[in-house]
């Protein structure tokens, strides 16, 4: 039997110091039928995602998170994957970063995620958001969703999210059938299965200061990735730190009964062997990049890190957003396979994190 039972919550490592930081991985779950890819099919990607989560837990990592995209050779069905990982692991947090709520039925999704959370013993940390540009133009229309007249797709995502949050609170709203197939408890009915505590473990993927504050006003944790609106022309990590501060300032105006979490994601590779040097040394974007996402607002994309551990410790200590967040998600190259990605995580946990006081 799992050491976690439904309702007991996750058995997380106890922070050893105020600077302790939860460290997990974030996988896009790419697969490609290519000779150099270790994940050539959807089955490969799903099974390797489970295996990587198991390996990460054994290493002492704190989280296994997955990006969700539709109409792409990536991971598009998060609840089933999280449930499978929850059944194979005992301690590690399992989550998404993020689910595009333009594609979601809030009631059906609440059922699926509630089941995954109960299977895991209360370890789901669910990142949701309005999504990024997808492989298909207005792909959510094929799922049967359309914005109301006068609303945008982003408005639709936020409205769906608000409904989703209310359902997760366990509210009873459905009028029972007077002649049901099975006996009902008295009064209105709610979505089942209901997982207590899951509502406090919902995160919003915010791409701007305004959406970070909106998330705080609704009692969602903050998930900030490697890009955001360029709102001040300052370095990415400075803008992201200010986004975190804006989120926490807004949170302080409310009484939700729990302390918020904040995560940031980064591409960080510790160069410790010849294979690392072959793959990553001298590559990647070592400076912030300016561009736009889907022809929208001017965006700033954060730099990646790839260097020897002692140099990484120095560089990461200067990243203001990483220092401000309580959780760091390491993006991993899923097509390189479970063994190599386990090595990436181990190098950060053993060769870099202690030097920063995170372990």
Q: Which residues are CB-neighbours of 206 under 8 A, at least 6 positions away?
A: 129, 212, 214, 215, 222, 223, 224, 228, 243, 247
Which residues, including other chains, have CB under 8 Å from residue 359's CB and lie 6 or more apart? 16, 20, 60, 349, 353
Walk along the chain (359 residues) and give the pLDDT tens digit of each residue: 334 443 344 344 444 456 799 999 999 999 999 999 999 999 999 999 999 999 999 999 999 999 999 999 999 999 999 999 999 999 999 999 999 999 999 999 999 999 999 999 999 999 999 987 788 999 999 999 999 999 999 999 999 999 999 999 999 999 999 999 999 989 999 999 999 999 999 999 999 999 999 999 999 999 998 889 999 999 999 999 999 999 999 999 999 999 999 999 999 999 999 999 999 987 667 899 998 876 568 999 999 999 999 999 999 999 999 999 999 999 999 999 999 999 999 999 999 999 999 99
Which H or E run includes 4? none
DSSP output for 284-346? S--S-EEEESTT-SEEEE---EEE-HHHHHHHHHT-HHHHH-SEEEEEE-GGGHHHHHHHHHH
Are the beta carbons of 112 and 105 closer than 8 angstroms?
no
Residues 287, 352: contact at Cβ < 8 Å? Answer: no
Read off φ and ψ for residue 129, nearest 5 degrees: -175, -175
DSSP bridge partners of 328: 23, 264
DSSP assignment of 224-237 equals E-SEEE-SSSS-HH
Nearest 5°: phi and psi at 198? -65, -35
H or E stretch at 133 = none
Domain ranges, ordered by start, for the chain: 22-356
Q: Which residues of 347-358 are buried (b: 16+ CB within 10 A; e: fewer)?
A: bbbebbbeebeb
CB burial class (10 A; 0-12, 13-18, 19+) of residue 338? Answer: buried
Instruction: Tell me the residue length of the chain.
Output: 359
CATH class entry, domain 22-356: alpha beta
**Which residue reads 């039928």 in tokens?**
33
């Amino acid at each position: 039997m799992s050491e976690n039972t439904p309702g007991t919550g996750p058995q997380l490592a106890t922070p050893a110091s105020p600077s302790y930081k939860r460290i997990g991985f974030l996988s896009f779950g790419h697969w490609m039928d290519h000779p150099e890819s270790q994940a050539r099919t959807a089955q490969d990607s799903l099974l390797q995602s489970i295996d990587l989560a198991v390996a990460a837990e054994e290493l002492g990592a704190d989280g296994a998170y997955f990006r969700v995209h539709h109409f792409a050779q990536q991971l598009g069905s998060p609840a089933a994957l999280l449930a499978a990982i929850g059944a194979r692991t005992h301690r590690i947090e399992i989550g998404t970063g993020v689910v595009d709520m333009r594609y979601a039925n809030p009631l059906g999704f609440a059922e699926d995620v509630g089941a995954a959370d109960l299977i895991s013993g209360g370890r789901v940390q669910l990142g949701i958001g309005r999504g990024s540009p997808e492989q298909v133009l207005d792909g959510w229309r094929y799922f049967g969703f359309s914005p109301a007249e006068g609303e945008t797709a982003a408005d639709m995502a936020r409205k769906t999210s608000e409904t989703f949050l209310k359902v997760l609170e366990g509210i009873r709203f459905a009028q029972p059938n007077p002649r049901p197939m099975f006996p009902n408890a008295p009064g209105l009915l709610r979505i089942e299965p209901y997982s207590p505590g899951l509502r406090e473990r919902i995160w919003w993927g915010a791409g701007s200061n305004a959406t970070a504050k909106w998330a705080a006003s609704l009692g969602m944790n903050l998930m900030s990735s490697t890009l955001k609106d360029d709102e001040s022309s300052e370095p990415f990590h400075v803008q992201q730190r200010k986004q975190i501060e804006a989120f926490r300032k807004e949170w302080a105006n409310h009484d939700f009964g729990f302390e918020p979490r904040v995560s940031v994601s980064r591409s960080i590779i510790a160069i410790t062997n010849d294979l690392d040097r072959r793959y990553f040394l001298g590559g990647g974007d070592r400076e912030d990049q300016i561009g736009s996402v889907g022809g929208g607002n001017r965006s700033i994309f954060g730099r990646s890190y790839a260097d020897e551990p002692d140099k990484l410790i120095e560089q990461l200590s200067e990243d203001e957003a990483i220092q401000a967040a309580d959780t760091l998600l390491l993006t991993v190259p899923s097509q390189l396979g479970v063994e190599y990605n386990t090595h990436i995580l181990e190098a950060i946990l053993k060769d870099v994190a202690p030097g920063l006081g995170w372990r």
